[in-house]
């Protein structure tokens, strides 16, 4: 198995969308460019949802137009439907993400649709995106636990994932949306997904509700997962998932894999600098641990 990790930074979308303080587009551009300067090559710059539902994402069009795009970096954006897809294409976004839930209750709460309705609509969105030369990743939320239904039948996760891949998605990002997955559950789910779809098709999106996100990342890596999501500073949550904590902190996950001599290609220290800037801008608490370690060594002069 390849030792190289492909890391997706989702802070500018999944992180910011749950913050009470709204970061203006110009500052979001600065955030994106700072993360790219740290070495991030897959970054979600925002979402093309109606600002009535997610006001923090207002102005994603402006962000997409104003970022200085760096060669070799894939700039992703979340699109909820064909209208969102058109907005993304109009501003030159060529990597998009679609999303739905593994459970009926969460899908209805989040998207006001049944899962079958979502699968049909997303099939059309993915097909249109692919016909225009775009690359698509697909999120499957609540893959390891649901705030409304509790335990999730992982066979349903695989069924939904297979349909999304068959529609043309490049890969799936399986979400522990409320952070209830245990290491054995994450390991087993990842093993089954990898067996069904292959290593290039499976990503893992972890939230750190119980402080188990890094342990879950480690066991997923041991099973063979090589695609991981994270958010700078451990930002985020889910407005439609009661009890969800933030994403696993990007800098913590990058440090974990670096300590294992695994190639990530991102500077955790530079991610910490962006996290501290965001803390000052938004007043949020950095939930990861590596920033504390880095700050202590920086202040002591022992970097």
Domain parsing of the chain, residue ranges:
6-299
Say what the pLDDT of residue 239 is.
62
> What is each CA distance from 202 to 35, 49, 97, in whole angstroms?
23, 25, 14
Q: Residue 18 class from Cβ within 10 Å (0-12 exposed, 13-18 middle, 19+ buried)?
A: buried
Read off the pLDDT band of 224 (50, 70, 90): very high
SS3 state of residue 287: coil
Contact 159, 128 (CB under 8 A): no
pLDDT, tens only, 132-165: 999 999 999 999 999 999 999 999 999 999 999 9
Residue 107 near residue 165 (C-beta atoms within 8 A): no
Q: Does the pLDDT value for residue 38 go beyond 70?
A: yes
Assess whether pLDDT exceeds 70 at residue 289: yes
CB burial class (10 A; 0-12, 13-18, 19+) of residue 220?
buried
pLDDT in tens, 157-194: 999 999 999 999 999 999 999 999 999 999 999 999 99
> Do 140 and 161 contact (CB within 8 A), yes or no?
yes
pLDDT at 238: 64
The more confident residue out of 3 and 219 is 219
Residue whose C-alpha is closest to residue 278's, from 291, 289, 297: 291
The percent of residues in the chain predicted with pLDDT above 70, rounded, is 96
Residue 127 contacts by C-beta under 8 Å, 6 or more apart in sequence? 167, 168
E-assigned strand segments in the chain:
6-9, 42-47, 74-78, 95-101, 135-141, 171-176, 202-206, 227-230
| Active-site annotation, residues | 238
Q: Which residues of 69-96 are buried (b: 16+ CB within 10 A; e: fewer)?
A: eeeebebbbbbbbeebbebbbeeebebb
Q: What is the pLDDT of residue 242?
A: 61
Angle at 109 between CA 104 and CA 113, to 5 degrees: 60
Question: 150: helix, coil or strand?
Answer: strand
CA distance 183 to 220: 8
Provide mean pLDDT across the span 89-112. Answer: 96
pLDDT of residue 240: 60
Q: Is residue 284's pLDDT more than 90?
A: no
Taking the C-alpha atoms of residue 12 and residue 274, their distance in angstroms, rounded to an integer, is: 11
Where do the DSSP E strands lie in 124-261? 135-141, 171-176, 202-206, 227-230
Architecture of domain 6-299: Alpha-Beta Barrel (3.20)
Strand partners, 77: 46, 96
**pLDDT value, residue 302:** 63
Q: What is the mean pLDDT of residues 69-90?
A: 97
269 has a pLDDT exceeding 90 = yes
For the segment 225-241, the average pLDDT, to the nearest whole number, is 86
């Amino acid at each position: 198995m390849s030792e190289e990790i492909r890391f997706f930074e989702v802070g500018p979308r999944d992180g910011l969308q749950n913050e009470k303080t709204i970061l203006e587009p110009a500052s979001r551009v600065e955030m994106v460019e700072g993360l790219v300067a740290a070495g991030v090559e897959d970054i979600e710059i925002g979402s093309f949802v109606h600002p009535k539902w997610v006001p923090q994402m207002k102005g994603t069009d402006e962000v997409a137009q104003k970022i200085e795009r760096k060669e070799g970096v894939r700039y992703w954006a979340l699109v909820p439907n064909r209208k969102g897809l058109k907005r993304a294409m109009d501003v030159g976004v060529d990597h998009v993400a679609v999303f739905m839930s593994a459970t009926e209750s969460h899908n209805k709460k989040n998207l006001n649709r049944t899962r079958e309705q979502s699968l049909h609509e997303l099939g059309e969105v993915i097909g249109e995106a692919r016909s225009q030369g775009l690359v698509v990743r697909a999120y499957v939320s609540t893959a390891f636990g649901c705030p409304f239904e509790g335990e999730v039948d992982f066979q349903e996760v695989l069924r939904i994932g297979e349909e999304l891949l068959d529609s043309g998605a490049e890969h799936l990002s399986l979400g522990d949306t409320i952070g209830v997955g245990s290491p054995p559950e994450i390991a087993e789910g990842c093993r089954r997904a990898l067996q069904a779809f292959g290593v290039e098709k499976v990503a893992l999106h972890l939230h750190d509700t119980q402080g188990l996100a890094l342990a879950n990342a480690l066991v997923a890596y041991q099973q063979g997962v090589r695609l991981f999501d994270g958010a700078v500073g451990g930002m985020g949550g889910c407005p439609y998932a009661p009890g969800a904590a933030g994403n696993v902190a990007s800098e913590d996950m990058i440090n974990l894999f670096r300590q294992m001599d695994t190639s990530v290609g991102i500077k955790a220290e530079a991610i910490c600098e962006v996290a501290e800037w965001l803390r000052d801008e938004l007043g949020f608490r950095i939930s990861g641990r590596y920033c504390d370690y880095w700050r202590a060594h920086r202040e002591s002069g022992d970097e």
